[in-house]
Amino acid sequence: MRSIAQRNSAQVTDNAELVQRDGHHYTYRFRYQNSSTKTQVGTILCGSSAGFHVTLKTVRQCRVSSRMEPNGFPSRTSILTAAARAFGSREPDASVRNPDWVADRLIGPDELALIADHPISKAFDRDFQEAIHDPDVFGFAWLMLVRTRCIDELMERAVHNGATQLVILGAGFDTRAHRFTELLKDVAVFEIDYGATQEYKKQRVKAALGGAPANVAYSPIDFARERLGEVLRRAGFESRRKTYYICEGLSMYVPEERSVAPNP
Ligand SMILES: C[S@@+](CC[C@H](N)C(=O)[O-])C[C@H]1O[C@@H](n2cnc3c(N)ncnc32)[C@H](O)[C@@H]1O
């Protein structure tokens, strides 16, 4: 894509390169000159409701943000789903509370700022009972409640039935390795996601929780381009061991020919 017009006092000097697509959000890396005329590298996040075709117009509407350095930029949807679990974990009624109390530790002001335009972000500043009656909030929070509880339960069952490896595809800010330390103490956990999301998560996990348990391996992948089997083998996955796979909120982002490939 050719260079873009001036924005936030930064003149883009080079072609913008698409480095990540996450649903309808696109991250471009580009070079720009700021007011001190130093050439720098930055990223832009493009939100487009127009589908997968990013137009120059969309890019012109993008925000240049120095906070989003290359390799430091997490998937927006991973923050959104974790925020919905974190919010749901504040539910006073235990019968409909999301069990993901760890998400509430990971999602802090910086993460909420990344999704500031979404109602779930604003919900954290509102009275819980008032916010949970907002349709944009309860729909999302309750979707996550069902997802979290259902997958937690199936995972527990699988480990009790002998699974000794857990592969979490498109893990984002999945917290099961932290919430189920006792259950998973003899289980090798492989978290698979974009490298940038994993790097951000690792830093956040270190700051908020002191680090990840020793049995967790973060294995970067781009599902659209790489083979899961190869990535797993490099991470120490053993195909003979009984394995439980979690694929939560991922398949809609992966091209169909990759997600149904018989030998991924
Ligand atoms: C909606 S989030 C779900 C995260 C987590 N499973 C959850 O339910 O909270 C989708 C995740 O898939 C990851 N993802 C999407 N497309 C991907 C791709 N091509 N390669 C690797 N990861 C991808 C994103 O980075 C993000 O973490």
Query: Are 60 and 4 contacting, i.e. CB atoms less than 8 angstroms apart?
Result: yes
Among 21, 22, 155, 231, name the best residue to mutate to test ligand 1's pocket (greatest count of ligand atoms within 8 A of Cβ): 22
Amino acid 264: pLDDT: 46
Nearest-atom number in ligand 1 for the CA of 147 is 8
Does residue 250's CB lie within 6 angstroms of at least one atom of ligand 1?
yes
What does pTM read for this prediction? 0.76
Higher pLDDT, 199 or 5: 199
Nearest-atom number in ligand 1 for the CA of 222 is 20
Report the separation in Å between the CA atom of 77 and the middle of ligand 1, taken as the mean of its atom positions.
Answer: 7
What average pLDDT does this structure show over 150-177?
Answer: 98
Domains of the chain in start order, with CATH, are 4-64 (no CATH), 76-259 (3.40.50.150)
Confidence of residue 187 (pLDDT cuts 50, 70, 90): very high
Amino acid 256: pLDDT: 75
Mean pLDDT is lowest, of 26-35, 118-127, 202-211, for 26-35
Report the separation in Å between the CA atom of 12 and the middle of ligand 1, taken as the mean of its atom positions.
Answer: 29
The Cα 257–Cα 95 span in angstroms is 40
Nearest-atom number in ligand 1 for the CA of 82 is 9
Amino acid 53: pLDDT: 29
Strands 216-220 and 243-247: unpaired
Q: Which amino acid is at 19?
A: V
Report the separation in Å between the CA atom of 9 and the middle of ligand 1, taken as the mean of its atom positions.
Answer: 33
Question: For 76-125, what is each residue's pLDDT tens digit?
Answer: 999 999 999 999 999 999 999 999 999 999 999 999 999 999 999 999 99
Does residue 165's CB lie within 6 angstroms of at least one atom of ligand 1?
no
DSSP assignment of 101-166 equals HHHHHH--HHHHHHTTTSHHHHHTTS-HHHHHTSHHHHHHHHHHHHHHHHHHHHHHHHHHTT--EE
Mean pLDDT is lowest, of 19-33, 166-180, 209-223, for 19-33
Place of tokens 């729909």: 139
Report the separation in Å between the CA atom of 194 and the middle of ligand 1, taken as the mean of its atom positions.
Answer: 7
The SS3 assignment for 29 reads strand
Does residue 194's CB lie within 6 angstroms of at least one atom of ligand 1?
yes
Report the separation in Å between the CA atom of 174 and the middle of ligand 1, taken as the mean of its atom positions.
Answer: 10
Q: Give me the count of residues in the chain.
A: 264
Among 25, 77, 245, name the best residue to mutate to test ligand 1's pocket (greatest count of ligand atoms within 8 A of Cβ): 77
